[in-house]
Amino acid sequence: MATQYEIGGTTAKGIAGSVERGVAEGALAPGVALPPVRRLADELGVSPGTVATAYKELRRRGIVVTRGRGGTVVAPAPAVASRRPPKVPEGVRDLAGGHPDPALLPTLLPPSHLSPGVRSHRSAPRLARLEETVRDWLGADGVPVEHVTFAHGALDLINRVLSVELLPGDGVAMEDPGYHHLLDLVAALGLRNVPVAVDDEGMRPQALRAALRAGVRAVVLSPRAQNPYGGCFSAARRNALAEVLRDAPDVLVVENDHASEVAGAALHTLSAAGPARWVHVRTVSKFLGADLRWAAAACDPVTLARHDGRLLLTSGWVSHLLQETVHGLLTDEGTRALVARARETYAVRRTALAGELAARGIASRAASGLNLWVPVRDESAVVNGLRSYGWWVAAGARFRLSSEPGVRIAAAGLVPADAARLASDFVAVLGESEATYGG
């Protein structure tokens, strides 16, 4: 309990202000429990309703959070930066970054026909021809496209949507293991990551049901190329998740189809299953280039209005120059052919490495996407061991909340011949690890 700081006040505003001063001065540290409502009411000589109103205001402002039987506690200080991966050592092959093969990306040339001058960007933030192309692109995969919008990448859109929909302290159901930048983003917004286990078909329905029962306000999940596990929805899994979500119509469903065209798996989208609050977002960085900080999204009309309202108040719009570049690439036949080749190549490379590992008795997760997840007992031993053989892979710690350890291997640039050598080195490292650490 908060015994080192004496909360004062005789009104809800005064009590809330007293708690906020204690937090600002460091007398009430993150995680410190506040007194129960009735106890504090007795101590201050006010009604329990007055204290409850003060606590409600503190929750609304993100100063405290409620943890069920754990009571009301001072909110944790939000993270302000992502857990960046360690620097790649010199002289090793980088298989930790998860980037596409540069040889399979188109050449980026800004359009020359976009004339300079004043435009009404705020009144028409989206180019009509790109909006129509996006409707065709998403609609072909069964995504409802009545309402679409653009953003400066998937993380930008998800950040904005969660910011306008949720309050600090709210829970968000997140894939575990999951994309570390998303996990860090949720924490930075003052929200709570609620882990949901995944398998080769994505989020597990029963695990999602448990998160919903815990009171999450949103769920963020990947329909294919799940990072780092590689899971992809089957039609049956999509339907099972939709059935679970049907009992929670107020929960916002954020579907992050980040690899889309190069995922190597068909899309079975939850957006087609009729959720009340939803957004399906796609970026082009994995198949057109990381410098194209652009994402398209389809969503329900309420989410559209809230997202676009906040966008107009901040950056205003996505650069029309960028939109013209994306439109030119999405509609170019040569680029489409290159993307198709990239999709096939990544599938060959991913399955080749998975096969080489399996042939040596090493299990991996590689149903779709550009990466493989390999369960291991000691992440550090494997990462450092492979480094000694000239390979640099990602330790799984930054992707995990409560799931078992593993390492992520980026296979996008790994040709089959190299896959055999890496798998052999992996076996040697596991043997060395067992000899050194006992398994």
What whole-number distance in Å separates Cα of residue 369 and Cα of residue 224?
7
Inform me whether the pLDDT recorded for 59 exceeds 70: yes
What pLDDT sits at residue 438? 46
Total Cβ atoms within 10 A of residue 128: 8
CA 167 to chain centre: 18
Q: Which of 30-34, 263-267, 354-358 has the lowest mean pLDDT?
A: 30-34
Kindly report the average pLDDT of the chain as a whole number: 91
Q: What is the mean pLDDT of residues 179-188?
A: 93
Inform me whether the pLDDT recorded for 115 exceeds 70: no
Closest-CA residue to 409 (of 374, 385, 378, 379): 374
Q: What is the mean pLDDT of residues 408-435?
A: 92
Domains defined along the chain, listed by start: 12-74 (1.10.10.10), 93-101+336-437 (3.90.1150.10), 123-333 (3.40.640.10)
Question: How do the residues of the chain divide into helix, strand and coil, expressed in percent and rounded to 5?
Answer: 45, 15, 40
The 10s digit of each residue's pLDDT in 371-386 is 999 999 999 999 999 9
What pLDDT sits at residue 35? 94
Q: What is the mean pLDDT of residues 233-248?
A: 97
The 10s digit of each residue's pLDDT in 116-166 is 555 567 777 899 999 999 999 999 999 999 999 999 999 999 999 999 999
Task: Return the bridge partners of 66, or none.
Answer: 72
Inform me whether the pLDDT recorded for 42 exceeds 70: yes
Confidence band of 231 (pLDDT split at 50, 70, 90)? very high
Confidence band of 61 (pLDDT split at 50, 70, 90)? confident
Inform me whether the pLDDT recorded for 437 exceeds 50: no
pTM of the model: 0.82
CB 121 within 8 A of CB 318: no
